Structure 1
Amino acid sequence: MSDATQEIRMQVMWNRLISVVEEQALTLLRTAFSTSVREAGDLSAGVFDPTGRMLAQAVTGTPGHVNTMAEAVLNFMAEIPREEMYPGDTYVTNDPWKGTGHLHDITMVSPSFLGDDLVGFFACTAHVVDVGGRGFGADGKSVYEEGIQIPIMKFAERGKVNRDLVNILRANVREPNQVVGDFYSLAACNDVGHRRLIDMMQETGLSSLDTLGEFIFTRTRTATLERIRALPKGEWSNDMTIDGYDQPVRLAACVHIADDVVNVDFTGTDPMSRWGINVPIIYSKAYASYALKCVMAPDIPNNWASLELFTVSSPPNILNARRPAPVSLRHVIGHMVPDLVLGALAKALPGQIQAEGAAALWNIHISARPAAGREGRSAEILMFNSGGMGARPNLDGLSATAFPSGVMTMPVEATEHTGPIIVWQKELRPDSGGAGKYRGGLGQSIEIGAAPGHEFDFSAMFDRVDHPARGRDGGADGLPGSVTLDDGTKLRPKGWQHVPAGRRLVLQLPGGGGYGRAEEREAQARVSDISRGYITEKAR
């Protein structure tokens, strides 16, 4: 076979491998019980070689899940010896420091055997609706309060499910059917990936993935190195202040670009918090790498070879939290890491980097129940909402868009079906995007009430209330967010709180920062903004 023919064959099989992991992810989307997975795509899926290096990831999924999962597989391999791995096995953990950063994310890894030979691993991650403890929120003082902890262990051995683990889960979570159902969905997801991989290998005559893996890694590494070497060399720093829990938090980063590696250092970031907003380094690294890749190599496949060229260092702090710090809301600060890193890159690459955006999802966990003396339904409901993205150097920011997580909008109908609540309003928030030559993306206005005869507690997981997204190169800041009842009562942006029967919760989501001076905006763009309702006459 000629070299050209062999290269074409390898490229075809690489594409086939990506199709395998896409089918793996779609299996999870189609079978998941939790709306956060089924509707929002809060998941990841990937295939790994026998040494634990990620060969390919599904396009469906979040950077926080994918990039942490890429490291987590090595943790599984360190805990479970090769001689104790068998066909039909599935391993599981929700360890925040060995998995994806908090207890609500379940990571499953399954070895893939061709005959008696271990040819690779499949891994997947998904957020489940409940893990017991205090529930999904920032109020815990240690990880021990935040829910059940599952060390790396076997969910199934040789195809037989660990019933003791399932029974422990059922006894410790508020929504046992949903949670256990998602465990089985995760296991099925890996099983589909395994079957499709073996079909591919048998069809193409492959006895291992070694040659294909070398092809993937060599080309990915070479392409990424070319991008890094074309960048200016040196160090650039940035810092930002965000809301925190009960006091503001300072985040700091220094990006060092060398010939063959880019490092992000978080020295100068505030210490760990006593509240559940801390971030294990595995998650901070995931989003720092994502920010670097967005700028330097957005079109190069994400795998072990590209991720290896992006490194992170940090002393212990809120972005490198040590056990047993509470970490339930690690995503709130973790989602700020890309804006933090992009701010440093804006100094290295002036005129090329977008403004800050809302960044952190405005997740809300609702615990609904019948009001006192009434009968009705109780339920745990998780709803994902997004503010506006920052404006780009040549385009407006995207409105109500989940950057950097990339999760999808959850339909109101699906959310209301989950429990006794009514979403009375969910629409774009006029004037919330920062003015500029390019306007920041809009946030949303959302109003939620309990169904008649019900009330609810909710866990607020919001930021950018006191510290809005900053504009860039003369662009204005986006509007900050707010959290109130419909009678104007001001509520806290983080922590568990109560909404009485008959009252409604009103969320005003933050907008993205603008880019460039507002007076440089084209007149036609201003007219379009007004006609579409993006800005009001008073904001002209």
Structure 2
Amino acid sequence: MNVSDIRMQVMWNRLISVVEEQALTLIRTAFSTSVREAGDLSAGVFGPDGQMLAQAVTGTPGHVNTMAEAVLNFLAEIPREEMFEGDTYVTNDPWLGTGHLHDITMVSPSFLDGRLVGFFACTAHVVDVGGRGFGADAKSVYEEGIQIPIMKFAERGVVNTSLLRLLKANVREPDQVIGDFYSLSACNEVGHRRLVTMMREIGLSDLDALAEFIFSRTRAATLERIRALPQGAWSNVMDTDGYDEPIRLAAKVEIRGETINVDFTGSSAPSRWGINVPLIYTKAYASYALKCVIAPDVPNNSASLALFTISSPENICNAQRPAPVSLRHVIGHMIPDVVLGALSQALPGQIQAEGAGSLWNVHLSVKPVSKQAGRRAEVLMFNSGGTGARPALDGLSATAFPSGVMTMPIEATEQTGPIVIWRKELRPDSGGAGRYRGGLGQVIEIGAMPGHELDFSAMFDRVNHPAQGREGGEAGAPGEVVLDDGTKMRPKGWQHVPAGRHLILKAPGGGGFGPASERDPEALAADLRGGYVSAGGKS
């Protein structure tokens, strides 16, 4: 490595620190607990041509990888001559942004001495966008909430107050939502300021040379990994719960020369319920699955993503407007397991087992039982099942894969509304048995405060189709949704919990890897001591 390369590496590290501070600004200032506690966000810096240079470490693949494409959509909509210093652009268009209306994406141009040198972009999930609320019950996107086309949130530093008035009139939690809009805008502004400081300090007039350094090395490293893979095509299918009928996901992974394509032909037709996935979101998680296996240590940017192509005819993985897409993550988070199942045939013994996949989110709408004193609130809580066992390690318990969002502390969640979380504990015997045990799910028990009742939006999967093991490993335990009196609830859709009753969620476990008969006796003994399995259970 010569002196020039060392200098470029230092600038690259500095650029990463810029986007990290950008993301931390969003976390520190966000109003929604899903952002500040769970990290359901993304932040990144882009070149003047809209190519993603760097992303913050904090962020979900569904936000980061869709944002990489979304910025190009912003540039196609807003002409260069209409871009000014102090601008911020916004959308929640599911097909141009991140797949559903609850995600707000903001893009801000970055100018240095009057010259456009790049863009900053960020995305966050807001608590409410109006409509039917966060759930699968809508029959079209028009029922799911307010739609914001690509437009200006601010021009030359002046916020579009007409847009804010429209938002306030259409959402249930206007203070939280408007607060998050300002938080997103501030996040990009901090990134811009730090970038300008860096460029002045180093003496850069543009990012062209740094971009070439980043992209050339990223592309070369990813190509080296692809060339080492076996050539051919492998297919896999996986059934999920769906809404009122099972959904089949089918993927064909084809490795030819220096390219990898994943095609979702054979997947179920679009659903009439809000579990459909726009292609931009399917691309994000299919690419993530490939990258986890092929080049997990190579930076994620436009150069690495360009080597993966994702295709699908119109189906549930490529739903067209105006399909309902509010819960696109429920199916979208299953996509990596489908892709990994195909890759396991090309790379036997090297791919982890299936896991819980989609988050066990629950949206609670809490209200007083009478007109007497009480508090209404919209509460969003993120929970996770177990991940699949790995080729040489047990699965992770109560851990979000593939989304990577963090568990929300109960103390923070209880502050957002009149609810009590009575239990939040690991679920024994839920991890699939194997040489390596699947990760455990968890049990969450939730009730409204006295004098209140709640409706909840169920967004759960793996209730009827548990995570399957790999290489002889056993399936994880399926999920369950019940009330404390034993009443069975549906895994999807808005439902009512009467005052005095508790909602109990039993998140699914991950599948095991390898035959259970090959489990290390010491590992089994440790499982028993830790309560991960009961005396009659297996691990």
Q: Secondary structure at the match of 2:367?
A: strand
Question: Partners in 2 of 1:187 and 1:324 — Cα distance?
Answer: 28
Q: Which letter does structure 2 place at the counterpart of 1:210?
A: D
Give 1:295's aligned residue.
293
Deviation at 1:117, TM superposition (A): 0.5
Q: Which letter does structure 2 place at the counterpart of 1:335?
A: H
Deviation at 1:182, TM superposition (A): 0.1
Give 1:242's aligned residue.
240
Q: Which letter does structure 2 place at the counterpart of 1:307?
A: L
Give 1:320's aligned residue.
318
- Asked if residue 349 in structure 1 is aligned to residue 347 in structure 2, the reply is yes
Give 1:33's aligned residue.
31
Give 1:149's aligned residue.
147
Structure 1, residues 458-515: CA drift from partner, whole Å, max 9, x if none?
A: 0000000000000011100000001011000000000000000000001111000000
Question: Partners in 2 of 1:374 and 1:337 — Cα distance?
Answer: 47
Give 2:375's aligned residue.
377
Q: Which letter does structure 1 place at the counterpart of 2:212?
A: E
Count of equivalent residues: 538
Deviation at 1:378, TM superposition (A): 0.5
Q: Which letter does structure 2 place at the counterpart of 1:317?
A: N
Question: Partners in 2 of 1:342 and 1:289 — Cα distance?
Answer: 11
1:218 is matched with which residue: 216, 219, 222? 216
Write the mapping of 1:408-447 to structure 2, written as runs, cut at 5 A. Answer: 408-447=406-445
Give 2:504's aligned residue.
506
RMSD over aligned CA atoms reads 0.6
2:276 is matched with which residue: 272, 275, 278? 278
Write the mapping of 1:404-483 to structure 2, written as runs, cut at 5 A. Answer: 404-483=402-481
Give 1:68's aligned residue.
66
Write the mapping of 1:152-163 to structure 2, written as runs, cut at 5 A. Answer: 152-163=150-161
Give 2:524's aligned residue.
526
Q: Secondary structure at the match of 1:539?
A: coil
Deviation at 1:188, TM superposition (A): 0.1
Deviation at 1:373, TM superposition (A): 4.5
- Asked if residue 395 in structure 1 is aligned to residue 384 in structure 2, the reply is no
Q: Secondary structure at the match of 1:272?
A: coil
Structure 1, residues 191-233: CA drift from partner, whole Å, max 9, x if none?
A: 0000000000000000000000000000000000000000001
Structure 1, residues 240-270: CA drift from partner, whole Å, max 9, x if none?
A: 0000000000000000011211100000000
Deviation at 1:330, TM superposition (A): 0.1
Q: Secondary structure at the match of 1:224?
A: helix
Deviation at 1:538, TM superposition (A): 1.2
Q: Which letter does structure 1 place at the counterpart of 2:54?
A: A
Q: Secondary structure at the match of 2:536?
A: helix
TM-score for the superposition, normalised by structure 2: 0.99
Q: Secondary structure at the match of 1:213?
A: helix
Give 1:21's aligned residue.
19
Question: Partners in 1 of 2:187 and 2:504 — Cα distance?
Answer: 37
Give 2:331's aligned residue.
333
Give 1:260's aligned residue.
258
Deviation at 1:116, TM superposition (A): 1.3
1:186 is matched with which residue: 177, 184, 187? 184
Structure 1, residues 360-417: CA drift from partner, whole Å, max 9, x if none?
A: 0000000001113432110000000000000001000000000000000100000000
Structure 1, residues 289-346: CA drift from partner, whole Å, max 9, x if none?
A: 0000000000000000000001101100000000000000000000000000000000
Question: Partners in 1 of 2:441 and 2:238 — Cα distance?
Answer: 20
Q: Secondary structure at the match of 2:168?
A: helix
Question: Partners in 1 of 2:372 and 2:255 — Cα distance?
Answer: 62
Give 2:54's aligned residue.
56
Give 1:78's aligned residue.
76
Q: Which letter does structure 2 place at the counterpart of 1:123?
A: A
Q: Which letter does structure 2 place at the counterpart of 1:457?
A: D
Question: Partners in 2 of 1:518 and 1:365 — Cα distance?
Answer: 37
Q: Which letter does structure 1 place at the counterpart of 2:120?
A: F
Question: Partners in 2 of 1:209 and 1:259 — Cα distance?
Answer: 31
Structure 1, residues 259-293: CA drift from partner, whole Å, max 9, x if none?
A: 21110000000000000000000000000000000
1:129 is matched with which residue: 127, 130, 150? 127
Question: Partners in 2 of 1:122 and 1:258 — Cα distance?
Answer: 34
Q: Which letter does structure 2 place at the counterpart of 1:452?
A: P
Q: Secondary structure at the match of 2:378?
A: strand
Give 2:202's aligned residue.
204
Give 4+ residue runs of structure 1 displaced > 3 Å after superposition: none
Question: Partners in 2 of 1:414 and 1:314 — Cα distance?
Answer: 40
Q: Which letter does structure 1 place at the counterpart of 2:473?
A: G
Q: Which letter does structure 1 place at the counterpart of 2:95?
A: W
Question: Partners in 1 of 2:277 and 2:140 — Cα distance?
Answer: 13
Q: Which letter does structure 1 place at the counterpart of 2:267?
A: T
Question: Partners in 2 of 1:68 and 1:482 — Cα distance?
Answer: 31
TM-score for the superposition, normalised by structure 1: 0.99
Q: Secondary structure at the match of 1:537?
A: coil
Give 1:117's aligned residue.
115
Question: Partners in 1 of 2:186 and 2:238 — Cα distance?
Answer: 42
Give 1:94's aligned residue.
92
Give 1:516's aligned residue.
514
Q: Secondary structure at the match of 1:418?
A: coil
Q: Secondary structure at the match of 2:469?
A: coil
2:225 is matched with which residue: 204, 224, 227? 227
Deviation at 1:158, TM superposition (A): 0.2
Q: Which letter does structure 1 place at the counterpart of 2:444?
A: I
Deviation at 1:115, TM superposition (A): 1.3
Give 1:42's aligned residue.
40
Q: Which letter does structure 2 place at the counterpart of 1:235?
A: A
Question: Partners in 2 of 1:373 and 1:19 — Cα distance?
Answer: 51
Question: Partners in 1 of 2:472 and 2:210 — Cα distance?
Answer: 48
Structure 1, residues 511-532: CA drift from partner, whole Å, max 9, x if none?
A: 0000000010011001000000
Question: Partners in 2 of 1:516 and 1:530 — Cα distance?
Answer: 19
Where structure 2 has 5 or more consecutive residues not aligned to the other structure, the ranges are none
- Asked if residue 307 in structure 1 is aligned to residue 291 in structure 2, the reply is no
Question: Partners in 2 of 1:262 and 1:18 — Cα distance?
Answer: 28
Deviation at 1:51, TM superposition (A): 0.3
